[in-house]
A and B are shown apart, each in its own frame.
Chain A
Amino acid sequence: MELTIALGIGVLFGSGVWLVLRPRSFQVLTGLLLMSYAVNLFIFVMGGLWVDKPPLTLAEDVDPAAYTDPLPQALVLTAIVIGFATTALYLVLMIGSRGVTGTDHVDGQEPDQ
């Protein structure tokens, strides 16, 4: 399981980095999204990988080892929301830039041929 998740995160992040380095703004945006997915998974995994363990309980006198760490889950939730909002903002700017400059190149102009 560890290997699968590690590979998954790696592939997502790697694809994201490649896309961010591309010249078209839509590719950059997609790259940022992929990278943020990878990071969210990464945070989630940092709490340790557990199968079939609930994150919270109200009962006292319990063995903490039987429960998974709830904090990374809370962090992921926050990170998703923030990442989503800032990426949406970038999308708006991208559309604005397309409208004003007439090109979707990240520099706002086509490179000289």
Chain B
Amino acid sequence: MSLAWTQHLVLVPVLLPLLCGSLLILLNESRHQLKFYINSASVLALLATALGLMWQIDANPEPGSMSVYLAANWSAPFGIALVADRLAALMLLLTAVMAACALLYSMLGWSRIGVHFHSLFQYLLMGLNGAFLTHDLFNLFVFFEVMLAASYGLVLHGYNLNRIRAGMQFIAINLVASLLFLIGVALLYAATGTLNMADLAGRAMDLAGPELNLLQLGAAVLAMAFLIKSAMWPLGFWLPTTYSAASPPVAVMFVLMTKVGVYAILRLWLLVFSSDAGEAAGFGFTALMWGGIATIVFGAAGMLASEVQGKLAGYGAIISSGTLLTAIGYGQSALIAPALFYLLSSTLAVAAFMLLIELIDRSRNPVQALLSVTMEAFGIEESPEQPVGKSIPAGFAFLGVAFALSGLIIAGLPPLSGFIAKFSLFHAVLNPGGNTELSLAGVVLIAVIVASGLAATLALMQFGARTFWASGSTTVRLRISEVIPIAALLSLCILMTTHASPLFAYIERVSDDLHQPGRYIERVLGQPVVPGVLGEEYP
């Protein structure tokens, strides 16, 4: 007996990029077109898979519906389980959408200034998707490393002095973070004797005394690794430099990588330290909350102070991470749904902004020297800065409108999705339900988020005024393949505004699933194995 093919769908987001990336290595670098088509076919297939998984999971009306895949047919706490629940499916979809946009943007220029862009891109997707799906801590480490190894290559893509300098720091910091990850995992294993997240959560409920301390210590060290990824203050100084040095399509994928850290925190903390976790309940939420607030303040100050546009976007990503961490750390279940909405909206908007910055730069300085060391070393002769595709009319007007839209969303001003996200967040904070009163932390949270919105507005207005009103040039040549990704990302944000209700209904279900760790543990550990080939049932 074997599983139906729909149940194997969970493996596709991991296996497909692996195979596709390996295939792309074999192709000669000069075959840009073919490589691009294979890469896009894979990304579109991933998009379809994510939609399929989402539909398959959400079609089941019962709460807590998920698809559990037991690798090699080992039952849950012993083997590695891949779990696609509503949250994982949502993140897979976001990854695929961002990947499609980044890839299309890189079609004519950026993918050609170095070697193995397409393979590394696929491996990055494999790492991201695997990190969203896996339910085993050590396997999470492995997928993190796959993702990071690919990102090391991508940050250096188009090898020049700036990228080498940024890469040296980025890689050193992430290597140390990986070591912290390992220490954390080892401590958790020492405390509970398991690496499966559901099993870990089940055992954490009964821990007390020195073993509980060991668990908390392990979780804290592990959180350090995740928080370095999500750039919480004071662990996030690497982010603005790296983002402004990386090429724009790569920076778009990096925006998503900060969200992986947040995702891991969200998943693990709500599972292991939920309110029904016995003595372990509520560990570390306060630290997340105040750390998040410090991050928002740091990001807002950075936005006001930054002279370079690339750093502006980087600080925007830091504010977004900080807001998410604060919302998780606030420890109120009603905040998770708005936080997830904010995650989607801010990720898309910051990504669009990352891409816009490069085009705006081009309008300021049309003869930009982009030659990289790899281009000389590998004898790639094409000069990608000459627009080869058709250029669109009214390019400057497009840039202005797109800038205004993404600015509105990043700053959280009405009428777009950024405003809806922040408004629903405040609504949840102000209406805690029951007899609980608004705490000091709630007041601080609202004040800081509003102030960061103001800072973002000021910084973006200053930048916009300098670029669009004070600059002499009003013509810029844009290629269609560069305009479509930005338009698509922003249209998605607009769609999120107009169709906020069904999306919120879905996210409410996600949040409900996350807040029922008991049901979750039961479901993962209770997944039956496929009966053996000899027809006997293994225990």
Measured between beta carbons, the chain B residues less than 8 angstroms from A25 are 168
Q: Does B156 lie within 8 Å of A93, measured CB to CB?
A: yes
Is A54's CB within 8 Å of the partner chain B?
no
Residues of A within 8 A of B141 (CB): 79, 82
B176 touches which of A35, A75, A107 (Cβ 8 Å): A35
Whether B190 is near chain A, meaning CB under 8 Å from some CB there, is yes
A43 to B187, CA, bound (A): 8
Contact of A66 with B by CB under 8 A: no
**Are the CB atoms of A93 and B186 closer together than 8 Å?**
no
Would you call A20 and B176 a contact (CB within 8 A)? yes
Is A46 a contact partner of B142 (Cβ separation < 8 A)?
no
Q: Are A28 and B172 neighbours in the complex by a CB distance under 8 Å?
A: yes
Q: In the complex, what residue of chain A is closest to B145 when comparing beta carbons?
A: A82
Residues of chain A contacted by B237 (CB below 8 angstroms): none
Which A43-98 residues have C-beta < 8 A from chain B?
43, 46-47, 71-72, 75, 78-79, 82-83, 85-87, 89-90, 93-94, 96-97
> How distant is A86 from chain B, measured CB to nearest CB, in Å?
6
Q: Does A10 contact B (CB under 8 A)?
A: no
**B171: contacting residue among A42, A82, A93, CB under 8 A:** A93
**Residues on B with beta carbons closer than 8 Å to the beta carbon of A83:** 178-179
Given contacts A39-B179, A82-B145, A89-B152, contact A106 B187 (CB under 8 A): no
Q: A39 to B164, Cβ gap below 8 A?
A: no
A3 proximal to B (CB < 8 A): no
Alpha-carbon distance between A36 and B145 when the two chains are bound, in angstroms: 14
Contact A108 to B138, CB < 8 A, known contacts A28-B172, A82-B145 = no
Instruction: Knowing A32-B176, A46-B189 are in contact, say whether A106-B164 is a contact too (CB < 8 A).
Output: no
The verdict on B45 contacting chain A, using a C-beta distance below 8 Å, is: no
- Docked CA distance A35–B183 (Å): 11
Interface string of B151-179 (1 = CB under 8 A from A): 01000100101001101110110011011
Q: Are B164 and A90 in contact (CB under 8 A)?
A: no
For B141, B168, B187, the residue with the greatest tally of chain A CB atoms inside 10 Å of its CB is: B168
CB-CB nearest in chain B for A89:
B152
**Interface positions of B from 208 to 251, Cβ below 8 Å from A:** none
Closest chain A CB from B343 CB (angstroms): 28
Neighbour of B179 across the interface among A35, A97, A106, CB < 8 A: A35
Chain A hits for B176, CB < 8 A: 20, 32, 35
Using C-beta atoms within 8 Å of the partner chain, give the interface range for chain A. Answer: 20 to 34
Determine if A1 is an interface residue (Cβ-Cβ < 8 Å): no
Q: Is B182 an interface residue (CB 8 A)?
A: yes
Contacts of B167 in A (CB 8 A): 93
Residues of A within 8 A of B185 (CB): 43, 75
Is B297 part of the contact surface with A, judged by Cβ < 8 Å? no
Known contacts A100-B161, A101-B161; is A106 also within 8 Å of B145 by CB?
no
Complex alpha-carbon distance, A93 and B161, angstroms: 12
**Is there contact, CB below 8 Å, between A96 and B164?**
yes
User: Within 8 Å of chain A (Cβ to Cβ): is B448?
Assistant: no
Decide if A82 touches B159 in the complex (CB within 8 Å).
no
Given the known interface contacts A72-B186, A96-B164, A101-B164, the answer about A90 and B175 at a Cβ–Cβ threshold of 8 Å is yes
Q: Is the CB of B175 within 8 A of A87?
A: yes
A-B contact pairs, 25 of them (CB 8 A): A20-B172, A20-B176, A28-B172, A32-B172, A32-B176, A35-B176, A35-B179, A39-B179, A39-B182, A39-B186, A46-B190, A82-B142, A83-B179, A85-B149, A86-B149, A86-B178, A89-B152, A93-B152, A93-B156, A97-B164, A97-B168, A101-B161, A101-B165, A106-B169, A108-B161
